[in-house]
C-alpha cells in the first residue's frame, strides 16, 4: 500500500513547525530515550480516551508535521503512515468509556498513558508531556503547555492518538447511527445533544460525565433508569 501524499502545507501553517529544542536539552543531559506523550478524547462524551507515545529519531526530521488540532482530517491521515515509518518507536493506549466511568478521568488518563508507554517496548529516560498535569508519573517529566505546537515528539504523538481514535469512532458509528459519531467523534455538538435527548445514552457514552445531569429520556431522568444509578443501554 502506497504511503498517502501529504497535501501542500497551507499558508496558515507555515512558520509554525514544532521543533526539537526540548528533546535536545534532554538528549544533551544524557537522557537517550525521550518519549513525547499527548492525549485525545478527554472532552468527549462517548468513546475511548486515547493517549499516544512517540520516540522520534535524533538524525531525521519529518516535514509538514504540526499539532494535530491545526491539521485537517485529510492532512492527519496522510501524515499518520509517514510518522509511523519515521519514528523509532510509537504506541497508542486506549481506555474505554466504561473504564472512564469506573476509574474517573485522572485514573483513566494514567492507565491509558501506562498502556501507551508499555507498548513502546522501550524504557523511557525522560518524558515530554503536553499540558499542565503529569498523568505519566515518570521521574524525569517536562510538562509543556501547548507542547503539541512546540515539541516534535508531542506533535507526532498527538497525530497518532487523534487518527487512531477517529478511526475507532468511524468504525463504531454505524452501530449507533443516531449520534453522528462519524463526524463529531463523540464530542458535543447540536445533533449529538439532540440524539441524547431523544434516545438516551448509547453503549459507548460516558455515563458518569456531567453532561448526563438533567438528561431526560422519554420523560425519565436517565440516571434513574437502573438501580445503580446507571443508565440502561439505548443504541
pLDDT tens sequence across 47-81: 999 999 999 999 888 877 888 888 889 989 999 99
pTM, to two decimals: 0.86
Q: How buried is residue 129: exposed, middle or buried, by Cβ count under 10 Å (0-12/13-18/19+)?
A: buried
What is the percent of the chain with per-residue pLDDT over 70, rounded to a whole number? 83
Q: Which secondary structure element, helix H or strand E, spans residue 100, and what is its range?
A: helix 97-103
Domains and CATH numbers, the chain: 11-172 (3.30.420.10), 177-224 (no CATH)
DSSP code at position 33: -
N- to C-terminal Cα separation, the chain: 35
For residue 235, which of 173, 170, 193 has the smallest C-alpha distance? 173
Cell numbers representing residue 37 in the block: 506523550
Q: Which secondary structure element, helix H or strand E, spans residue 224, and what is its range?
A: none
Helices 73-86, 152-172: inter-axial angle, 10-degree rounding: 120
Residue-level pLDDT at 15? 61
**If you search the block for the grid coordinates 521521574, which residue do you land on?**
139
Q: Which secondary structure element, helix H or strand E, spans residue 82, and what is its range?
A: helix 73-86
CA distance linking residue 47 with residue 97, whole number of Å: 5
Amino acid at each position: 500500500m502506497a504511503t498517502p501524499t501529504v497535501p501542500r502545507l497551507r499558508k496558515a501553517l507555515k512558520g509554525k513547525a514544532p521543533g526539537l529544542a526540548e528533546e535536545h536539552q534532554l538528549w544533551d543531559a544524557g537522557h537517550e530515550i525521550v518519549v513525547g506523550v499527548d492525549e485525545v478524547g478527554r472532552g468527549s462524551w462517548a468513546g475511548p480516551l486515547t493517549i499516544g507515545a512517540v520516540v522520534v529519531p535524533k538524525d531525521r526530521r519529518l516535514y509538514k508535521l504540526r499539532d494535530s488540532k491545526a491539521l485537517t482530517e485529510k492532512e492527519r491521515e496522510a501524515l499518520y503512515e509517514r510518522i509511523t515509518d519515521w519514528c523509532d518507536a510509537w504506541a497508542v493506549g486506549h481506555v474505554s468509556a466504561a473504564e472512564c466511568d469506573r476509574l474517573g478521568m485522572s485514573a483513566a488518563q494514567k492507565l491509558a498513558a501506562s498502556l501507551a508507554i508499555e507498548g513502546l517496548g522501550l524504557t523511557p529516560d525522560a518524558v515530554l508531556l503536553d499540558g499542565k498535569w503529569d498523568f505519566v508519573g515518570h521521574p524525569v517529566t517536562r510538562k509543556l503547555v501547548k507542547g503539541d505546537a512546540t515539541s516534535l515528539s508531542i506533535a507526532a504523538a498527538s497525530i497518532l492518538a487523534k487518527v487512531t481514535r477517529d478511526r475507532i469512532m468511524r468504525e463504531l458509528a454505524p452501530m449507533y447511527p443516531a449520534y453522528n459519531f462519524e463526524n463529531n467523534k463523540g464530542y458535543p455538538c447540536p445533533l449529538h445533544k439532540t440524539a441524547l435527548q431523544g434516545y438516551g445514552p448509547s453503549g459507548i457514552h460516558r455515563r458518569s460525565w456531567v453532561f448526563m445531569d438533567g438528561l431526560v429520556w422519554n420523560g425519565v431522568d436517565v440516571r434513574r433508569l437502573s438501580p445503580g444509578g446507571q443508565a440502561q443501554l439505548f443504541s
